[in-house]
Chain A
Amino acid sequence: MSDPVLLILAYVAFLALTLFFRGRALQGPWWFLLRSFLPNWRFYHRVGAMPVMLVRTCGADGQWSAWQGDRPRARRALIDLVHNPHNNRLLLDQSLVEHLYADLREADNADSVTMLVSYRLACELARRRVNATTPGARAIQFEIRLIPPYGVATPDTAVLTSPVLAAGHPQPPTT
C-alpha cells in the first residue's frame, strides 16, 4: 500500500475518532464571534427540536391578534442560486432565534435574560416583523416555541414569552 493511501487512511481514522471524543466547548464572547474558524462540519445530522419565534400584536382597539409565525419559508426562484439576500436574511434571523434559545438554556435567571444581546436583538426582530406586516399595532409580544422532532409547535412548547413591548419604531440600523 502506498504512503499517500496510508496517510489518507490514518487521517480518516483520526476523523472517525473525533466522532466519539468531544472536548469541552470553548466559551467566551470572542470565541463566539470567531467561531467561523472552528467548524464542526455536522450538518443536519439529526432531527432535533427547532425553536421558532411567534409574534402577536395589539391593535388600537386593545384586542390581541392570534400568535403568528413559523419556521422560515420562501418561494424558490432560479436567481436565488446567485443572489439570495432576502432568504439568507430569513435564515440569519432563524439563527438568532436558535442562539437565543441556546442562551436561555444557560441563563441563570429571568433578569439576566433581558440583558442578553440575543434577547434584545430578538425584541428588535419582532418589532421589525410587526412593522412590516401590521404597521398600526400599538403593542407586541413574542414567544419562542419549540417544534419537537417530527412534530409541530403548540402553546405548551413555549420556552419564552416576552413581556408586552411597545410596537414603536425599531431602532435604526445604524450605530
Chain B
Amino acid sequence: MTLSIADAGQALLWMTTISLLIQAIEALRLQAGSALLAPWPWSIQRDDLRDSSKLVRAVFDRLYRPGIHRAHLIVHMLAALSLPWAGATTPVAAGLLVSQVLISIRWRGAFNGGSDFMTLSVLGGIAIAALTAPWLGESLAWQAGLWLISIQALSSYFLSGTVKLRYAGWRHGRALPALLDGGLYGPLPPTSLLRQPVVAMVCSWAFIIWEAAFPLSMIDPRLTTLWCAIGIAFHLLVWWFFGLNRFFWAWMATFPALIGCATLIQG
C-alpha cells in the first residue's frame, strides 16, 4: 500500500479526530460522574502551581471551574471534528495542541501516560504542517509534519522493543505472563497458553523483534503497511489485557504518517 502526502494527511486528520473525540467524550463522562469518577479536587491540585505567579494560578483556577472545563472540552471536540472537514487551519491546529496540554494539566500532566504523549506528538505534527504551510507550501509543510509524527512513532516502537532486550525477564519469557497477570483485565487464566514458558518466550521475542525492526520497515511502503497491520493486532492485544483503549487510537493515528513517509522514501 502506498499513500501520497495529501492522502496520508487526510487519513491522519480522520484518525486524529476519532482519537480526540474518544478522549474528550470520556473526559466529559468523568466530569458528570460520581465522586469516584470526578476529577481530583482542584483546591488540592492547584498547589502543583504554588511556585507560579498569582496571575497564572488565577487563570488556571478559572479555567478548571467545572462549567468552564466542560465548555472547554466541548470546544475541543468541535475543533477536532472540524479537522477532516475544514482541514488543519493554523488557529484550529495550534488551538488543539494548546487545548490538549491544558486538558492534560487538569490530570497532573497526563491522564493516560503514553497515549497523551502520542496524542501531543500527532497534534504537534499537524500544527507544524499548518503553521509552516504559508512559507513552505502545502506539500513540504505536510512532509515536515508527517515526518515529525513518524519519528515519534518509530522511536516509540524501537525504544520500547530494544529496552526489553536488556532485561533477562523479557529475554527468557518470564516477564510477559507476570505483566499480563498484573493487567487491568488480569490475571491470566491458570490454563492460559501464555503461562507455558516456551510460548511466553516465543511471543516475547516476536514482539521485541517486531518493535525493534519498525524503523527498518520504512524502506518499502508494503513492508510498512504489513508492520502497521501487525501493529493493529498488537495494540488490540494491549487493550485486551491492559484496558488501554486510548493507546490503540493514539497509535492508529500515526499509521497514515508512517505509510506516507515510507511512500516518500521510495519516491
Binding site for B on A (CB under 8 A): 4-5, 8, 11-12, 15-16, 18-19, 29-30, 32-37, 39-47, 50, 71-76, 80-92, 95-96, 99, 117, 120-121, 124, 128-129, 131-132, 147, 149-150, 170-175
Contacts and interface: CB of A to CB of B under 8 A. Distances in A.
Interface string B63-83: 011100000000000000000
Contacts of B95: none
B34 interface: yes
Nearest to A73: B184
Interface string B229-255: 000000010011001111010000000
A94 to B, nearest CB: 9
B218 interface: yes
Contact of A11 (B107, B162, B167, B215): B215
B215 A8 contact: yes
Contacts of A29: 48-52
Nearest to A33: B109
B203 interface: no
Contacts of A121: 40-41, 44-45
Max chain B CB contacts within 10 Å: which of A82, A132, A171, A175? A175
The 7 closest A-B pairs by CB, nearest first: A173-B38, A39-B117, A41-B159, A171-B41, A41-B156, A4-B265, A85-B26
Interface string B168-188: 011000110011001011100
A87 B219 contact: no
Contact of B159 (A42, A72, A175): A42
Contact of B179 (A5, A47, A72, A117): A47
Interface residues of B, number: 82
Max chain A CB contacts within 10 Å: which of B27, B39, B109? B109
B152 interface: yes
Given A39-B152, A124-B41, A74 B160 contact: no
B84 interface: no
Interface string B183-224: 011100000000000000000000000000001101100000
A120 B36 contact: no
Nearest to A123: B44
B243 A92 contact: no
18 contacts: A4-B218, A12-B215, A15-B162, A29-B52, A33-B48, A34-B105, A41-B159, A43-B160, A47-B174, A47-B179, A85-B27, A87-B243, A89-B30, A117-B108, A128-B35, A128-B36, A147-B182, A174-B42
B159 A19 contact: yes
B184 A87 contact: yes
B108 A36 contact: no
Contacts of B25: 83
A117 to B, nearest CB: 5
A80 to B, nearest CB: 6
B243 A74 contact: yes
A172 B27 CA distance: 17
B65 A175 contact: yes
Nearest to A71: B182
Interface in B92-118: 101, 104-105, 107-114, 116-118
Contacts of B167: 45-46
A89 to B, nearest CB: 5
